[in-house]
Chain A
Amino acid sequence: MQAREIEQLAELAGIRPPEGDLALLADALATHAKLVAPLLDARLCGERSALDLDPRFA
């Protein structure tokens, strides 16, 4: 993503990152994309989402 796109996305989220953060955030998003790749590859669409926080084993 380009810095300008990051700025627009941040604005939609209600924040205004300083100019100097924009390029760093673009890098951080790219790095995080690599981190989450195994989650997307795991094809978890059929798995229930873990929004129920009861830690007891069902």
Chain B
Amino acid sequence: VIDLTQVTIRAAADLIVKRKLSAVELVSAVLDRIEETESLVHAYARVDAEGALAAARRADGERPRGPLHGIPFAVKDVLATADLPTECGCRALEGNRPARDATAVASLKAAGAILLGKHVTSELVCGVNEPVTRNAWNLAHYPGGSSAGGGVSVAVGSSLAALGTDAGGSVRKPASLNGVVGLKATHGLIPREGVLPPSGSLDHVGTFARTVEDTELLLAALAAPVDSEGPLEGMRLGTCRAYYHADVDSWVVDACEAALVELRRLGATIIDVEVPALALAVPAGVTIFIAEAGADMRCLLAERAAEIGGETRRALELGLLLPAVWVDAAQRARALLRREMAQTFRDARLDALVAPTLALTSMPLAQMSPDVHLARYMSLTMPANLTGQPSLSVPCGLSPEGLPIGLQIVGRPFDEATTLQIGRRFQEATDWHTRRPALPAVADLA
């Protein structure tokens, strides 16, 4: 018996094509799972059960269009949807109904996938969300960044796939913290049309799924098919321990080192590299993000400030007050990082850089201090936002507390094929991606 809430897209697609599973059965099972889990994890801002079931009935009446036919997915509430409000977690946008779907949403629907609803986002991608989204592996712990709803939902089985956005790690972070696969493709490869623009130059639409193979199916519909077949023999993978293993929890370093051993066993050559400008990634990324978010939201801020939460409002206001010299220095640091990264890939003939996704595993929400911990949570993901390189997070271990650890594979620009190839071979050789959280029953929490 297959658990339809934990089935992969590939496995579900095979059953749908063979008519052994209907889209209505699959969507119904996932809607039931949403019912069971939402009061625990709060991953959704809005669920459209009626619309999803109607779409599933239509899908069952058609010839399957491809592997996403009948597959239920959900999207972060910053991606425009014509049939559902797009409120970005903000009272000022309550009832906002875009005229059409964001291009990425439309692409998945055109491939036959079925929209379940909108995942929670932190307010305008800058603030907080209430009630707070919970980590799938420990409800008292941090679930990840502004796209946490997608990572949590795919982990607990309340969607098979999700779309989020990633301007500093907001897809890869919840993917890593909730034990699922997150992809931020090369900047601009997945169209951003129809996405709330908090920081256009850093932001990317990204995917959540349970396996790299499923991620590849999503990317084929969102951008273009890639070929991730082929072994790792002859591949050259860089590791930059001076940055990516410094100020990192010991169990995260251990899991990453074990992954490097596995990748070497699979035929890859591991090469130590240094990229000094990585040290500037957090100040540069945070400065550019805040400045661009403030500029993008200036009109909303000027006209409807009272309907924006205090924390979000102040972050946006701060963006409009930063001295130009700071923003300019951040852009120059970004140029330096891109130049050094390109030089490193060329000189060492790298196929990808391999590193931990995050410096730490999920911590208790009650112990978090935004000033201290948010910078640590983005220190290893922000570099790929600044350079625009593809970056994939795959599960690679568990902490002593049993919380997921992610391995980050950063590829050459527009070389998603190699990036996914490395992730797929790693998943074929390990079973970290098959581990699932055991949620307590609601009654047990009472």
Contact = CB atoms under 8 A, between A and B. Distances in A.
A9 B326 CA distance: 16
B330 A21 contact: no
B283 A50 contact: no
A29 B290 CA distance: 12
Contacts of B302: 14-16
Contact of B326 (A13, A32, A45, A55): A32
B20 interface: no
B332 A55 contact: no
B414 interface: yes
Nearest to A29: B321
B387 interface: yes
Interface string A31-58: 1100111111010110111110101111
Measured as residues with beta carbon below 8 angstroms from the partner, the interface class of chain A is 35 or more
A9 B347 CA distance: 46
B321 A35 contact: no
- Chain A residues touching B, majority SS: loop
Nearest to B287: A36
B213 interface: no
Nearest to A33: B326
B314 interface: yes
Contacts, number: 121
Given A38-B280, A39-B283, A57-B413, A44 B321 contact: no
Interface in B293-320: 298, 301-302, 305, 310, 313-314, 317-318, 320
A47 B369 CA distance: 34
Nearest to A58: B342
A10 B287 contact: no
Contact of B332 (A6, A13, A49, A53): A49
B170 to A, nearest CB: 18
A16 B301 CA distance: 9
Contacts of B41: none
B5 to A, nearest CB: 36
B318 A25 contact: yes
B329 interface: yes
B317 A25 contact: yes
A6 B280 CA distance: 27
Nearest to A20: B310
A15 to B, nearest CB: 5
Contacts of A24: 314
B287 A35 contact: yes
A53 B201 contact: yes
A56 B341 CA distance: 11
Contacts of A6: 321
B322 interface: yes
A38 B346 CA distance: 27
Contacts of A55: 186-188, 387-389, 413-414
A21 to B, nearest CB: 6
Contacts of B286: 32, 35
A21 B317 contact: yes
Given A50-B332, A50-B338, A38 B283 contact: yes
Contacts of B328: 49
Contacts of B325: 40
B335 interface: yes
6 shortest interchain CB distances as A-B pairs:
A55-B388, A57-B342, A44-B332, A50-B335, A50-B334, A39-B329
18 contacts: A10-B320, A13-B320, A16-B302, A17-B305, A17-B313, A18-B305, A28-B314, A29-B322, A32-B326, A36-B283, A37-B283, A39-B333, A40-B326, A49-B332, A50-B331, A50-B335, A55-B413, A55-B414
Given A50-B331, A55-B389, 20 more contacts: A10-B317, A13-B298, A16-B305, A17-B317, A18-B313, A25-B317, A25-B321, A32-B318, A35-B287, A36-B329, A39-B283, A39-B330, A39-B332, A42-B280, A49-B328, A49-B331, A56-B413, A57-B342, A57-B346, A57-B412
